[in-house]
Amino acid sequence: MVLVRGHRGPAGVAGPPPGPVAGVGYPLPIDGRRAEGDMGVGDMSERAILRRTAELAADFLETLGERPVGVSVSPDELRARLGGPLPEVGEPALEVTERLAREADPGIVASAGPRYFGFVIGGSYPAAVAADWLTTAWDQNAGLYVSAPAAMVVEEVAGGWLRELFGLPASASVAFVTGATMANWTALAAARHEVLGRAGWNVETQGLQGAPEVDVVVGAEAHVTILAALQYLGLGREGVHVVPADEQGRLRAELLPSVLAECGPRTIVCAQAGNVNTGAFDPLEPIAAAVREHGGWLHVDGAFGLWAAASPELRPRVAGLALADSWTTDTHKWLNVPYDSGLVFTAHPAAHRAATSVSAAYLAATEGGERDGFDWTPEYSRRARGFPVYATLRSLGRAGVAEVVERCCRLARRVAELLAVEPGVTILNEVVLNQVLVRFGPAGTAGDERTRAVVAAVQRDGTCWLGGTTWHGQAAMRISVSNWRTTDDDVDVSAAAILRCARASQTSATR
């Protein structure tokens, strides 16, 4: 039968579902005219629904700082609230929205708030949320210039601004993808094209079977999504050459030449700007020199660390960045743009395009030869995700981007200092960026247990949220500061909560 969405009687009361309408793929009211209910808006206008939704969103954002940061609801409670059978007859959009906001609420993590220090998350700037709403309303398909001209031009403009902010070559290609995982994939697909192309092999048409061998080199601390990209690209996660890392997780550049000596002429090297645990930067200058000497492609995963390049204070940490062949970063992390939003740049536009381009007879190029989004990304139909990035950059300006990056780093140092004064607390990393690793208690099993207990207690406490990790074989608390809303006060209150939990865990341990 045909499901009729939001089909309502005059008083907004659900009427009986109409019978099937032969050959009609969309809902029609019984009398053959389109009823108001077809839009799913019931008795409300679309404007009224959007206004009310804006209120619901503002209510959420205004109370973000006061919400408990963790979520305590059980999965079954969420299923009870949100589950049940698919309604036979549709419900009006406003009712659906109100109900969603109400029932999902206990399961919404305040990760966009000022005291969420888990993973590397970031929040959303007002300009970013606003542009994201417009992006949704406009519903452009940014795969093609002809279906989304403003979106394509905005990606071009914002891409150019970002190249400049990061100090990348003006000729570098740029693409807006879902996140750093697909940015890594795109960069490594371009690298695969280039190194095989130099051997006369077209990997896009010929595939990998029978292809000349490709060597991939990673640092021991490469992000898992580099390995995932290699997995998707048929290059394999396990056949890689691994260069040992130092105590901060930096690729040991002095060992790279001997690893490269074992590699053939088609080599891809993956370096990192911003280790997910310590925030440390691989030394890009000597790495680039070694890759240049050997020949090959150098990729830099800077999902959050690349933003150091946008700060005059931190820029020296990424010296040599522009010598690489490709770069990855996220805008949904440190630029505080909503998910999903990542970026890839390459110094080889032809290789980039060859790796990701699609073509079909009905996709004739536009007259002016304008850029089509789907030629540069692993997607075909795609969200116009340049708008929120563009709006955020405009609202911050060059100075604002540098300021938020530097502020987060300062706050990371502040929380480290506040915690370090407590006896039995050790900061395990050099706090060079926005990441802090904290250890409670002695080395060994007792300290591991205590550290995990403190992390769990902080998560229950609800003042702030942070996660645990394992660093050099020992348990550690991991704090990441990457939200524009975080203030000195937030850091002070959070450090106090962490120390309170640490003291309580010590008391219970000695009991």
Ligand X SMILES: *Cc1c(COP(=O)(O)O)cnc(C)c1O
272/463 with CB nearer ligand X: 272
326-330 and 342-346 strand pairing? antiparallel
Number of neighbouring beta carbons within 10 Å of residue 156: 14
201/304 with CB nearer ligand X: 304
Residue (of 124, 27, 106) closest to 335 by Cα position = 124
Q: Give me the least distance between CB of 301 and ligand X, in Å please.
A: 5
152/433 with CB nearer ligand X: 433
6/179 with CB nearer ligand X: 179
Q: Which residue minimizes CB distance to ligand X?
A: 179
Residue 396: partners with Cβ closer than 8 Å, 6 or more residues away:
125, 403, 404
Q: What are phi and psi of 216, to 5 degrees?
A: -120, 130
Between CA 87 and CA 25 the distance in angstroms is 19
297-301 and 326-330 strand pairing? parallel
Number of neighbouring beta carbons within 10 Å of residue 392: 28
4/177 with CB nearer ligand X: 177
Beta bridge partners of 343: 176, 329
145/281 with CB nearer ligand X: 281
Q: Give me the least distance between CB of 283 and ligand X, in Å please.
A: 16
73/220 with CB nearer ligand X: 220
Q: Any long-range contacts for 89-92 (C-beta under 8 Å, 24+ apart)?
A: 89/3, 89/4, 89/7, 89/14, 89/17, 90/3, 90/4, 90/5, 90/6, 90/7, 90/37, 90/40, 91/6, 91/14, 92/6, 92/8, 92/12, 92/37, 92/40, 92/41, 92/42, 92/43, 92/44
Where residue 113 falls (left for φ over 0; alpha for ψ -120 to 50; beta otherwise) is beta
Q: Give me the least distance between CB of 280 and ligand X, in Å please.
A: 11
Q: Give me the least distance between CB of 276 and ligand X, in Å please.
A: 5
Point out which residues bind ligand X (CB under 6 A): 120, 179-181, 223, 225, 274, 276, 301, 303-304, 330, 342
Residue 149: partners with Cβ closer than 8 Å, 6 or more residues away:
370
159/274 with CB nearer ligand X: 274
Q: Whats the size of the chain, residue-wise?
A: 511
143/179 with CB nearer ligand X: 179
Q: Give me the least distance between CB of 226 and ligand X, in Å please.
A: 7
Q: Give me the least distance between CB of 271 and ligand X, in Å please.
A: 11
Q: Give me the least distance between CB of 133 and ligand X, in Å please.
A: 21
Q: Give me the least distance between CB of 75 and ligand X, in Å please.
A: 23
Residue 11: partners with Cβ closer than 8 Å, 6 or more residues away:
none
**Of all helices (H) and strands (E), which one includes residue 183?**
helix 180-197
Q: Give me the least distance between CB of 335 and ligand X, in Å please.
A: 12
